Structure 1
Amino acid sequence: MTPPDAQASTPRTWKKPPFIANPLLRYGLIIVGVVYLVWAFGSLPFNWERIAEGLPRAGRIFGGGFPPSLERYELLITGFKESFQIAIMATLLGVLLSIPFAVMAARNIAPMPIYIIGRAVIIISRSFHPVIVAILFVAAVGFGPLAGILTLILYSIGFVGKLLAEEIEEIDWGQVEAMKAAGAGYGAILFYAVFPQILPRQVGLSMYQLDSNLRASAVVGIVGAGGIGSTLMNAFGRYDYDFAFAILLVIIAVILISEGISGWVRKKIW
């Protein structure tokens, strides 16, 4: 029989338990997933002849895009100026509108009928991709930046409102109880017990949403909602590939700078 001292000195290794403990279920799900991928790939209507014809075409596009050209830099500046205006206006209005909807969608401070309405608005705002919403607004209000602003406002309400509502549901309830005991009304409780607790998170979300709206403004512009996306599509439509690639490179540079600034601001806040 092994002495107790020998058992204590025997090294033991810890293994992370599997996500699904039952091996039959675990491997069965893997097999089902592989079979589905094979079936889906085999049943989708891939046109291999067109794909083969598209490879030389892609080569011509990339070959015509290098070196990138900034000869029409005035169009580039105008497009980016419009994208910045769309992103900033949509972020300001979207974040402001997301606050009341976040309060409505927080289960701990909103009665059930208001909670259902607030959650419904947020769910609807998050249900559609910005490009789909942009197509609808372009059809409703016409081509231009107004469609882009409305699209990104709805996008901001869905994202910021959801995360703010979850943040409100996790606040320290002691401050709320203290203000209730002092006889404070609902508005005073919101402004002095709820909002101060979520303010750092709200500022961080606002910076992130501005960064996200700047990227999205380039995407929704492709369908006619203004911004640099419209300039990019016009360049591709004219087969002006060197200018189009210059726009893409500038978009990447602007997003990198924006990401760095927003990350620095979030670190200072938190």
Structure 2
Amino acid sequence: MTAATVTPTPVPAAPSKSLGAWLLDLLVWGGIAVVLIGSFNAVELKNLGRVFTNSQDISTFAQELLKPDFSNWKLLVAQMWQTIQIALWGTFIAVFLAIPLGLAAARNIAPAWVVTPIRIFMNLLRSIPDLVIGLLFIVAVGLGPLAGVLAIALNTAGVLAKLFSEAVESIDKGPVEGVRATGASPLHEIFWGVLPQVGPLWTSFALYRFESNSRSATVLGLIGAGGIGQLLFESMGAFDYNQVSAIVIIVIVAVTLIDMLSQAMRKRLL
């Protein structure tokens, strides 16, 4: 009996790029390199050596920070708790704004005449810094945490709406088509075909933004939007670096605890 002849499997050709693709890559990466080189002087990287020439001043400042003053720890903790509340309410309001915006901005759900203006509006919300929005609300509602809540809510709504819309655009069409085959309305398609797929991811995005907003709410204290940030900038202005150190430690501990809680919740959802 003659052994069967084994036909060797041809080796597939290595993937190759077209000339147009190579030129596009060269244009993109070359453009980035040109911008980096051209902006070297604009960002004053030539003065990087000052970090080492002024090391004595940095050392003196660091020594003061190594002596935290927790004599007013009750006030600091209370202000940190208010900062967390500002971030929590800002994120909560942002989620409810972002859900309809995210659905309306998804190209696989909404028509183009709805998607385009919604995306422009989302870009507007994201492009305006928190501090600017906070200043506008301080003029409207006065100094205090409410301005911080509203500033975080609007800026975060723009960010979450973009993330929510991208999550919707990447869903599996099968469940949606299955719901549609039953004769359900478009609203039912969203409730039973879209939301179950994106719900865990949306929640993860919201938790991440809450972590980020806990830090943003601290910075908003610069303009008088309440929370521990206001105490931080007052202490820095008074050169009370011992209290600045205590505030920074409290902020780090609070953000770390929020991060641990957020990670635990995301593991249960994803």
- TM-score with structure 2 length normalisation? 0.81
Deviations 1:24-50 (A, max 9, x none): 879966874564244436799x7x99x
Q: d(CA) in 2 for partners of 1:33 and 1:152?
A: 32
Q: What stretches of structure 2 of length at least 5 have no aligned partner?
A: 1-13
Partner of 1:40 in structure 2? 42
Q: d(CA) in 1 for partners of 2:226 and 2:188?
A: 41
Deviations 1:176-202 (A, max 9, x none): 222222211122111111111111101
Residues 1:223 and 2:220 aligned together: no
Q: Summarize the alignment of residues 14-33 of structure 1 with structure 2, pairs less than 5 Å apart.
A: 21=22, 32-33=34-35
Partner of 2:9 in structure 1? none
Contact 1:107/1:169 (<8 A) preserved: yes
Partner of 2:167 in structure 1? 167
Q: Summarize the alignment of residues 56-135 of structure 1 with structure 2, pairs less than 5 Å apart.
A: 58-135=58-135
Q: Summarize the alignment of residues 133-144 of structure 1 with structure 2, pairs less than 5 Å apart.
A: 133-144=133-144
Report deviation, 1:248. Answer: 0.5
Report deviation, 1:141. Answer: 2.4
Q: d(CA) in 2 for partners of 1:42 and 1:117?
A: 39
Distance 1:99 1:233, change over 3 A: same
Q: What stretches of structure 1 of length at least 5 have no aligned partner?
A: 1-13
Residues 1:239 and 2:239 aligned together: yes
The amino acid of 2:266's aligned partner reads R
Partner of 2:202 in structure 1? 202
The amino acid of 1:141's aligned partner reads V
RMSD: 3.2
Contact 2:217/2:227 (<8 A) preserved: yes
Report deviation, 1:52. Answer: 10
The amino acid of 2:203's aligned partner reads V
Distance 1:32 1:119, change over 3 A: closer
Q: d(CA) in 2 for partners of 1:27 and 1:152?
A: 35
Deviations 1:136-178 (A, max 9, x none): 3223322110110011101221111111101111111122222
Report deviation, 1:269. Answer: 1.4
What percentage of residue pairs aligned between the two structures are identical? 32
Contact 1:211/1:259 (<8 A) preserved: yes
Q: d(CA) in 2 for partners of 1:248 and 1:216?
A: 14
Distance 1:223 1:61, change over 3 A: farther
Q: d(CA) in 2 for partners of 1:222 and 1:121?
A: 27
SS at match of 1:40: coil
SS at match of 2:42: helix
Distance 1:27 1:110, change over 3 A: closer
> Is the deviation greater in 179-188 or in 194-203?
179-188
Partner of 2:214 in structure 1? 214
Contact 2:76/2:247 (<8 A) preserved: yes
Deviations 1:192-221 (A, max 9, x none): 111111111011112112111111111111
Partner of 1:250 in structure 2? 250
Contact 1:104/1:117 (<8 A) preserved: no
Q: d(CA) in 2 for partners of 1:75 and 1:220?
A: 18
Contact 2:77/2:250 (<8 A) preserved: no
Report deviation, 1:76. Answer: 0.3
SS at match of 2:69: coil
Q: d(CA) in 2 for partners of 1:109 and 1:231?
A: 46
